[in-house]
Structures are given as C-alpha cells and as structure tokens.
Amino acid sequence: MMRHIIILSIGISLFFSCTNSEKSALEETRINKSEDILDEHENVEPTKVLSFEITGMSCEMGCGSAIRKELYKTNAVNQVSFDFKMGRDNNTVYIYYDDTKTSVDKISKILNTMNDKQFEVKMLDNIDYISENSDDEKLTSYNGGGSSLGVVLPNFFDLILQSLYR
C-alpha cells in the first residue's frame, strides 16, 4: 500500500512538472517574440516627429504599451512617448518615425482601428526630426531652448562625498 502511494506521488509530481515546463516554454517564446518586436524599433532612424491629440486612453501603462506595440510592428517607428494625465479627455502622443517606411495616414489608421476603435486621433504636428548629435540641437539645448531648460542638476552622490571629505 505504501509503495502505491509513493509511486502515485511520483507520477503526479512528474505530470505537473512536465506541464509547467511546457507552459514556461510557451511563455518564454511569447516573451522572446515581444522582445524581438521591441528590439526591431531601435534600428529605425527617425526622420519625422508626429504628434496627435488622442482620446480614449484610460492609462499610460496599458494603453500606451498597446499603442507602442502596434506602432513598433510597422518597423518604421523608433520611439513613442505620451503627454498623459489621468482624467484628461485629450492627451498627446509623440511618434518618432521614418517617413520613408510609413506615412501619417498609415499611423493614423493603426491608432484609429486598434482595440476595437478605442482611440481617436487628430494630427497636431509633423515636423522634421533633429538628431541629438546635431550641432544645432546642442546649441539650442545650451541656450535653454527646446525641451531643455538649460539647468544642470548636481550629482547628489558627488555632493555627499564632497561633504564627507570636508
């Protein structure tokens, strides 16, 4: 009787361990595919920055992630960022993309049709992308223009070390 219980226990353990390994292999494949999609967008050199007013977003984490995933699938989008505030009807999405690989219409169609037409977009601007390595961009940021305020914050770790050495 004891031998039957031991054999049954081992059999059940083997069954569940095999089931879990299959499940984790499926999850790993799914994760790898997601990472591949996200890695592919890094090879895109943006030429334009497109901004849309977007309605229908309930949160930046879930909705933003879904939007990024769909846009990265085009292999024409380098970065997607949001000006999102909870409870606001209209938010803004900024899409850094290569206009030789996709168009404003295609991007707009993706956003308007995804998630059972959850989102509605209205184009605000479509400007040329200026690389961070551009000398003009560096001058703009040093002069306090653009997105930089021209303020350099100290490294707090260095401040602590300096105060210890005084």
The pLDDT score that the predictor gives to residue 43 is 85
**Spatial strand order in the sheet of 77-83:** 77-83, 90-97, 48-55, 120-128
Q: Residue 147: pLDDT band by 50, 70, 90 thresholds? A: very low
The C-alpha atoms of residue 25 and residue 56 are separated, in whole angstroms, by 35
Residues 6 or more apart from 151 whose CB is under 8 A from it? none
Over residues 59-90, the pLDDT tens digits come to 888 899 999 999 999 999 999 999 999 889 99
User: Which structure tokens are listed for 121?
Assistant: 């977009």
CA pair distance 81, 60, nearest whole angstrom: 10
Position 80 scores a pLDDT of 93
Beta bridge partners of 121: 54
| Average of per-residue pLDDT across 106-127 | 94
Tens of pLDDT, residue by residue over 2-30, are 776 777 677 666 555 544 444 444 444 44
For 21-56, the pLDDT digits (tens) are: 444 444 444 444 444 445 556 788 999 999 999 999
Give the per-residue SS3 of 27-83. HHHHHHHHHHHHHHHHHCCCCEEEEEEEECCCCCCHHHHHHHHHHHCCCCEEEEEEE
Residue 127 has pLDDT above 50, yes or no: yes
How does residue 155 score in pLDDT terms, banded at 50, 70 and 90?
low
CB atoms within 10 A of CB 78: 19
CA distance linking residue 122 with residue 114, whole number of Å: 15
Mean per-residue pLDDT for 127-145? 58
Cross-strand partners of 127:
49
Residue 95 scores a pLDDT above 90: yes
Mean per-residue pLDDT over the chain, rounded: 75
d(C-alpha 145, C-alpha 104), whole Å: 27
